[in-house]
A and B are shown apart, each in its own frame.
Chain A
């Protein structure tokens, strides 16, 4: 139904603080774009600029091919789900959902039909006469979603909508949001600081840092080929192991595959590192072999995280199942050559 195009969008606040420093993102129709980054990276500001709640200092924002820089939030035909839900506390659920339609002069029976069908989709029918304070967190979240959906807008904007829910509910709502977004086919922009949420929801993932886009693309591409050490350490839990190279050498390495000349950091994912057991077959040629000392083990059930020290650096190995490893053990670990990532001194991928 609509595309969203951001071109060199900047935000400079009155005090001279630059929150967003030239961001360009093209979101195709029906796609769910997730903006992820640490707090203060400008992701929320960017979302609020798309919503029209913040002015755009430079650059342009177009919705459905039409530049909307000077248009207010109402005329942009967007709907937003807020972190704290922002339900009108004095209105019943029904009126919360109907309010936006009433303000647009929608006929009464159409409002009623739309509110009721949306409530049905979200299983809110039995709550329509309640007030927000009589609802649980998850129910409020649903009402906030309903308020957005009922308007049938061109674009959905989500501002960390799940961060106030407990972990279990968050997982459920995540799936639900994804399904809803897909079935409604509405272009969406979703802001979160939770990389798991970002990975699972996104069609397009945009990793932001310090007001700039670090990398954008499909979640798996970003996971497989992080463009910088920032992305490598931000996406993935536990994050990628990053070990410093000193003029082509790695402290604690038994063998080191050929290193690109400009590389200053070597990285590999915790699950790409294996522990070599006694008597196993020889490791493939060109693999990185490390001799590490175990600092601690975290069994989480289906897998275990082994925290180790190599040279002076910390790293973590992800092992399926449970392991008989104690702190203080010496281990031989290896990672295949194709699973290694190299980054230059500026943090960019080599």
Chain B
């Protein structure tokens, strides 16, 4: 639903691989254009639908050009409230989802970078035990531990709260392992130089480790933000009130079995708005994201 498009390969590479023949370049462009069309057309069609009235949408065929109801539809969805989800506005949903996605992404990064720091740079009893404990949680995704987690959330009174939406998803073995692998590549001499220079554990973390990890953090942030944004099962369980829904859940609720009962124009608007923030994050952080994936800066 809100899947972000695949990024095209970094510029310049296609030329290098195909060579300089004009036929090769032509072919490459045809293939790429086709790919873009296939990926982009449904999104474009959704946008077109979001600018027409419900009546136009329900009377096929749907025009291929945008209609005149862009401002009406978008302002109705954003600020008016949508009937089928109890009159909650899409703006509220966007705020909710942003809080949840940011909370999950930032929380996961903070927790995993700190645990990786402890595991890599400190010698304490049970270090390997804790490392394996974290590692093993990879085998226990939310879906597997959903009942006990739900029970805990109910007991803590965290149903219909941001904490309830964020906290159970916040621990991440994957991110911890990623940071651990990065930290292991930091030369021991650098750590020792910092010790000789009078940097304690906290200063070393703040002045040296964090700046060196910034591309990794950026790449991880993009991935985790999208992960948080597109969460479905857990928000569905842990929210009952319509005004605590995330946008993905609300979108699901907005669609009724009966076609006539569904405000399709608003569904389309919500879809467009739902994919906008992840796309923005990817586009704005693309440079950092790619650097974080390919570059090891030491």
The chain A residues found within 8 Å of chain B, CB to CB, are 48, 51-53, 72-74, 78-80, 82-90, 99-100, 103-104, 147
Q: B187, B192, B200, B298: which contacts A80 (Cβ < 8 A)? A: B192
Interface size range on B against A: 10 to 19
Q: Check A86/B193 contact, CB under 8 A, given A99-B207, A103-B203.
A: yes
Q: Check A100/B196 contact, CB under 8 A, given A88-B190, A89-B297.
A: yes
Q: Mark B186-206, 1 if CB is under 8 A from A, else 0.
A: 010110111111111001000
B154 at the interface (CB under 8 A from A): no
Q: Check A82/B198 contact, CB under 8 A, given A88-B208, A89-B212, A103-B203.
A: no
Q: Check A53/B193 contact, CB under 8 A, given A89-B297, A90-B211.
A: no
A99 CA to B200 CA, complexed, in Å: 12
Q: Check A72/B193 contact, CB under 8 A, given A88-B208, A99-B207, A103-B203.
A: no
The CB with the most chain A CB atoms within 10 A, among B190, B194, B197, is that of B197
- Ordered by A's residue number, 13 sampled pairs between the chains whose C-beta atoms are within 8 Å are A73-B192, A74-B195, A74-B198, A80-B192, A82-B189, A88-B194, A89-B297, A89-B298, A90-B208, A99-B199, A100-B197, A100-B198, A147-B197
Complex: chain B residue closest to A98, CB-CB: B197
- Chain B hits for A82, CB < 8 A: 189, 192-193
Complex: chain B residue closest to A132, CB-CB: B298
Please state if B193 and A80 are interface contacts (CB–CB under 8 Å): yes
Q: Check A103/B196 contact, CB under 8 A, given A84-B189, A88-B190, A89-B297.
A: no
Please state if A84 and B187 are interface contacts (CB–CB under 8 Å): yes
Q: A80, A84, A87, A104: which contacts B198 (Cβ < 8 A)? A: A104
Please state if A86 and B189 are interface contacts (CB–CB under 8 Å): yes
* Contacting residues of chain B (58-83) with chain A, CB-CB under 8 angstroms: none
Q: A72, A85, A99: which contacts B197 (Cβ < 8 A)? A: A99
- A83 CB to nearest chain B CB (Å): 7
- B212 CB to nearest chain A CB (Å): 6
- A54 CB to nearest chain B CB (Å): 10
Q: Check A103/B193 contact, CB under 8 A, given A84-B187, A86-B187, A89-B298.
A: no
Q: Check A53/B195 contact, CB under 8 A, given A83-B189, A84-B189, A88-B208.
A: yes
- B126 CB to nearest chain A CB (Å): 16
Give the 3 A-B CB pairs with smallest separation, nearest first.
A100-B197, A103-B198, A86-B189
- Chain B hits for A86, CB < 8 A: 187, 189-190, 192-193
A48 CA to B193 CA, complexed, in Å: 12
A88 CA to B189 CA, complexed, in Å: 10
A78 CA to B193 CA, complexed, in Å: 11
- Chain B hits for A85, CB < 8 A: 189
- B28 CB to nearest chain A CB (Å): 34
- Chain A hits for B196, CB < 8 A: 51, 53, 73-74, 78-80, 100
The CB with the most chain A CB atoms within 10 A, among B187, B193, B194, B297, is that of B193
A86 CA to B189 CA, complexed, in Å: 6
- Chain A hits for B194, CB < 8 A: 88
Please state if B190 and A73 are interface contacts (CB–CB under 8 Å): no
- Chain A hits for B208, CB < 8 A: 88, 90
Q: Check A73/B195 contact, CB under 8 A, given A88-B208, A90-B211, A103-B203.
A: yes
The CB with the most chain A CB atoms within 10 A, among B189, B203, B297, B298, is that of B189
The CB with the most chain A CB atoms within 10 A, among B192, B198, B199, B200, is that of B198
Complex: chain A residue closest to B192, CB-CB: A53
* Contacting residues of chain B (193-234) with chain A, CB-CB under 8 angstroms: 193-200, 203, 207-208, 211-212
- Chain A hits for B297, CB < 8 A: 89-90
- A142 CB to nearest chain B CB (Å): 15
A51 CA to B191 CA, complexed, in Å: 13
Complex: chain A residue closest to B298, CB-CB: A89
Q: Mark B270-298, 1 if CB is under 8 A from A, else 0.
A: 00000000000000000000000000011
Complex: chain A residue closest to B123, CB-CB: A14
